[in-house]
C-alpha cells in the first residue's frame, strides 16, 4: 500500500479493469452495445473526442443527466471526464455516484497550473501521461490509474505508442540505477523520492498503466498491450467505425488474446471501415491535446 486505505480501494477497482477495454459512449444504447460486446467499463460523454476536435469551443463535463441515464442502462462501471483542475465538476460526478473520473486533457483545461487533489475524493481518478514524470506527479496527486495521453480523436496510434514506450523505458532505467542514484533521479523527474524508490524496487508503477489516445483497430489495441499496457481505452474508434458492434467485440477479444496472432488475424477480418484517421503531423501545435496539463 503506497498512500492509505482509501487509495488502495481505488487502485483495487483499477486492478479489476485490467485486461479489458473501456469504451466511449454517448447514450444508453451505445452503452448497452459496449456492455454486450464485453467492455469492462464505459466512458460516458456528450461527444466522442473526434467530434470535440471537429466542433471546437470549450469542452466541459457532460450533462449529469446523460451520465445518469448511461449509469442506469448498464451494470458495468461507468466513468466520465472532468476538465483538468476542475474539482467542482469532480464533486458533481462523485455526488451522482460515478465509478471513475477521468481528469482529461480531451476537455478544455480549467486550471493551467494545478490538477485536482485527488486524495480528497472517494471516487478513483484516471489521468493521462506522456512520460514517467507526468505519470508520477498524477499518482502523487492521488490518481489510481494512469493512461497514455496519445492524441485523442485522431484514430492514429502513433502518439500512444510513443508515450507507452517512453514510460516503459523510463521505468526500466530507474530499475537499473544504483540505490544512491535515486535521490538525483527524483530531483530530475520533479517527483517524490518514495515513488521513484517504489519503481526501483518493483519495476512498475504503483497503479495500473493503461493505453489511450488514437486506438482504432483490434491490431492497435493488441499493439498497445504487447508494449506493456494493461488495458485499453477506445474513444472514437468504436462508434465512428462502420460497424460498432463488430468493432467493439473484436477489440475486446484482441485485448484478451493480444499475444495470439492466430486469434488476431481471425477477428481482424471483414470488420468494415475503421474510423477515418488524422495525420497528426498536419495538426497545428494548438490543436494538440496531449500538451495540456503536464
Partner 1 sequence: MKKIGILAIQGDFEEHKLVLKKLGVDYKFVKEKRDFEDIHGLIIPGGESTTFRKIIRNYSLEEEIIKWRNDKKPTFGTCAGIIIMSSQILNDEEGFGYGFLDIVIERNAYGRQRESFIAEVEYNFNHRAKVAFIRAPIIRKVNKGEAIARLNGRPVGIQDENFIGITFHPEITGDIKLHEYFLKLVNSSG
Tell me which residues are annotated as active site: 81
Nearer to partner 1, 222 or 252 (CB): 252
99 binds partner 1 (CB under 8 A): yes
DSSP string, the chain: --S-HHHHHHHHHHHHTTT-EEEEESSHHHHHHHHHHT-SEEEE-SS-HHHHHHH-S---PPPHHHHHHHHHH-SS-EEEEEETT-HHHHHHHHHHT-SEEEEETTSPPS-SS----GGG-SS-EEEEESSHHHHHHHHHTT-SEEEE---TTS--THHHHHHHHHHHHHHHHHHTS-GGGHHHHHHHHTS-HHHHHHHHHHSS-SS-EEB-SS--SHHHHHHHHHTT-SSEEESHHHHTSS-HHHHHHHHHHHHHTTT-HHHHHHHHTT--PPPP---GGGS-GGG-STTS--
Q: How far apart are CA 168 and CA 230, in angstroms?
A: 12
Per CB under 8 A, the segment of 30-38, 54-62, 102-110, 284-292 that binds partner 1 is: 30-38
15 binds partner 1 (CB under 8 A): yes
Q: Using CB under 8 A, which of 3, 18, 46, 162 touches partner 1?
A: 18
Nearer to partner 1, 13 or 278 (CB): 13
From the CB of 20, what's the least distance to partner 1, in Å? 5
Among positions 155-194, residues that touch partner 1 (CB under 8 A) are none
Q: Using CB under 8 A, which of 49, 124, 128, 213 touches partner 1?
A: 124
Per CB under 8 A, the segment of 53-61, 93-101, 268-276, 277-285 that binds partner 1 is: 93-101
Nearer to partner 1, 41 or 195 (CB): 41
Q: With b meaning 16 or more CB within 10 Å and e meaning fewer, what string describes 86-120? A: bbebbebbbeeebbbbbbbbbbbbbeeeebbebee
Nearer to partner 1, 41 or 212 (CB): 41
54, burial (CB in 10 Å: exposed 0-12, middle 13-18, buried 19+): exposed
From the CB of 100, what's the least distance to partner 1, in Å? 7
Q: Interface mask (CB under 8 A) for partner 1, residues 247-286, using x and -?
A: --x--xx--xx-----------------------------
8 binds partner 1 (CB under 8 A): yes
9 binds partner 1 (CB under 8 A): yes
Q: Using CB under 8 A, which of 3, 19, 177, 283 touches partner 1?
A: 19
> Which residues are CB-contacts of 113 (< 8 A; sequence separation ≥ 6)?
85
Among positions 65-84, residues that touch partner 1 (CB under 8 A) are 71, 75-77
From the CB of 74, what's the least distance to partner 1, in Å? 9
From the CB of 83, what's the least distance to partner 1, in Å? 21
Binding-site ranges for partner 1 (CB under 8 A): 5, 8-10, 12-13, 15-20, 35-41, 71, 75-77, 94, 97-100, 122-124, 249, 252-253, 256-257
Amino acid at each position: 500500500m503506497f498512500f492509505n486505505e482509501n487509495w488502495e480501494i481505488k487502485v483495487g477497482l483499477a486492478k479489476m479493469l485490467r485486461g479489458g477495454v473501456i469504451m466511449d459512449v454517448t447514450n444508453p444504447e451505445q452503452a448497452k452495445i459496449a456492455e454486450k460486446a464485453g467492455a469492462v467499463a464505459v466512458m460516458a460523454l456528450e461527444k466522442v473526442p473526434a467530434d470535440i476536435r471537429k466542433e471546437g469551443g470549450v469542452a466541459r463535463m457532460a450533462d449529469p443527466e446523460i451520465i445518469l441515464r448511461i449509469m442506469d442502462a448498464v451494470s458495468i462501471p461507468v466513468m466520465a471526464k472532468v476538465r483538468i483542475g476542475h474539482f467542482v465538476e469532480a464533486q458533481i460526478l462523485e455526488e451522482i455516484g460515478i465509478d471513475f473520473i477521468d481528469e482529461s486533457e480531451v476537455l478544455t483545461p480549467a486550471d493551467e497550473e494545478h490538477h485536482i487533489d485527488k486524495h480528497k475524493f472517494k471516487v478513483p481518478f484516471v489521468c493521462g501521461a506522456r512520460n514517467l514524470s507526468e505519470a508520477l506527479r498524477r499518482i502523487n496527486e492521488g490518481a489510481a490509474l494512469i493512461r497514455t495521453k496519445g492524441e485523442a480523436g485522431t484514430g492514429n496510434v502513433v502518439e500512444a505508442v510513443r508515450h507507452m514506450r517512453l514510460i516503459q523505458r523510463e521505468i526500466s532505467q530507474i530499475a537499473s540505477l544504483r540505490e544512491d542514484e535515486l535521490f538525483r533521479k527524483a530531483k530530475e523527474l520533479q517527483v517524490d523520492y518514495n515513488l521513484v524508490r517504489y519503481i526501483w524496487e518493483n519495476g512498475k508503477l504503483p497503479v495500473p498503466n493503461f493505453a489511450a489516445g488514437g486506438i482504432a483497430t483490434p491490431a492497435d489495441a493488441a499493439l498497445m498491450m504487447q508494449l506493456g499496457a494493461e488495458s485499453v481505452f477506445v474513444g472514437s474508434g468504436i462508434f465512428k467505425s462502420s460497424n460498432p458492434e463488430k468493432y467493439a467485440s473484436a477489440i475486446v477479444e484482441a485485448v484478451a488474446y493480444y499475444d495470439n496472432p492466430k486469434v488476431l488475424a481471425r477477428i481482424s477480418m471483414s470488420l468494415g471501415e475503421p474510423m477515418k484517421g488524422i495525420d497528426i503531423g498536419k495538426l497545428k501545435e494548438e490543436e494538440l491535446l496531449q500538451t495540456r496539463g503536464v
